[in-house]
Structure 1
Amino acid sequence: MTGVVVSLGSWVRRRAEAARGRTADSGMTAIEFVLLTPVLFFMIFATVQFALYFFADHVAQAAAQAGARKARATADEQPGAWRGEARDAVDSYIRQLGPQLVLSPDVQTVQPEQHTVGVEISARIPTVFPGLDLTVHARSVGPVERFVKEGGN
């Protein structure tokens, strides 16, 4: 530990002397720049990838919720047609919010229980790093809305 403190102290001393005009280590700044630039670029690209992933996740979740809303509203009045309408609602949402962000979405309609319907989405997202394969998953399920006339069953 003392070796680290001594080398840190000597490094600070060398940097202070260089700042005062002494050029004992005149190429040190260039070497530091060469070594730190890739780290800086990696951090920038990682931040961009993080933002892409979470925005795509939010788009997929919003599309799943839109599809589930459509499925819940139409499943009681149109027993077989709600699946197509839910998929259309999901596709419309993805086209509006992120057509280049949510790539090749796999949309599945689900009916886990008798009076429950929903939508499940799985999709790839673009990546900044070559060879990285990221996917997002979203699921939204809710009870079927049933409209009953007043005083009726």
Structure 2
Amino acid sequence: MVAGARRRLGPGTDRGGVLGRAGNDRGASAIEFVVLTPIMFFMIFAAVQFALYSFAEHVAKAAAQAGARTARAEADANPGTWAGSASEKSHDYIDQLGRGLFDGRPVVDVRRPAEYTVRVTVTGNVPTIMPGMSLQVTAVSEGPVERFVPDGG
């Protein structure tokens, strides 16, 4: 046997095995567990929160683009009803893609910033799983109004 590799412990000196523990590291794994577990939970919750935010942002963008497509197609032909149709289309997309994804109902703002331009803005609050956070997504889609312009000649 190699000298010093094994030592016999006398009665009452059992320190966890034949070789015992080196130095004074008793309980070190418990301390590491106590320190690292909250960090691990924070990282898991942060990943889930990031996924929720990213999905909500995707749904808001898709809803804004759908509303803008409807607004572009109808703004010239239906001057009185195009805004309602665009808003309804955006809400339909939100209900289809992300029902229950937002805290409350997202706000859809439909405007005509210029004579031949329409803009749809979707704003909603993302639910948070980490206390003390408040997250909001905003998506904007803007484009020219589709209209028929006769030849000048």
TM-score range, shorter chain: 0.7 to 0.9
**1:89–1:152 Cα change, 3 Å:** farther
Aligned partners of 2:102, 2:143: CA distance in 1, in Å?
24
Q: If the length of structure 1 is used for normalisation, what is the TM-score?
A: 0.80
Q: Does 1:84 align with 2:106?
A: no
Question: Structure 1 residue runs of 4+, over 4 Å off?
Answer: none
Q: CA deviation at 1:152?
A: 8.6
Q: Secondary structure at the match of 1:112?
A: strand
Q: CA deviation at 1:76?
A: 1.1
Aligned partners of 2:131, 2:111: CA distance in 1, in Å?
34
Q: 1:99 aligns to what?
A: 99
1:2-151 correspondence to structure 2 within 5 Å: 22-24=20-22, 25-103=25-103, 104-147=105-148
Contact 1:86 1:109 in 2 (8 A): yes
Q: Secondary structure at the match of 2:26?
A: coil
Q: CA deviation at 1:131?
A: 2.6
Aligned partners of 2:46, 2:20: CA distance in 1, in Å?
38
Structure 2: any 5+ residue segments left out of the alignment?
A: 1-15
Q: Secondary structure at the match of 1:52?
A: helix
Q: CA deviation at 1:22?
A: 3.4
Query: Rg larger in 1 or in 2?
Result: 2
Looking at secondary structure, tell me which structure has more helix per residue: 1
Contact 1:120 1:139 in 2 (8 A): yes
Give the percent of matched residue pairs that are identical in Structure 1 and Structure 2: 55
1:29-58 residue CA offsets vs partner (Å, 9 max, x unmatched): 111111100000001101111111111111
**1:92–1:21 Cα change, 3 Å:** farther
Structure 1: any 5+ residue segments left out of the alignment?
A: 1-17
Q: If the length of structure 2 is used for normalisation, what is the TM-score?
A: 0.80
Aligned partners of 1:33, 1:81: CA distance in 2, in Å?
62
Q: Secondary structure at the match of 2:114?
A: coil
1:6-36 residue CA offsets vs partner (Å, 9 max, x unmatched): xxxxxxxxxxxx9x95324231111111110
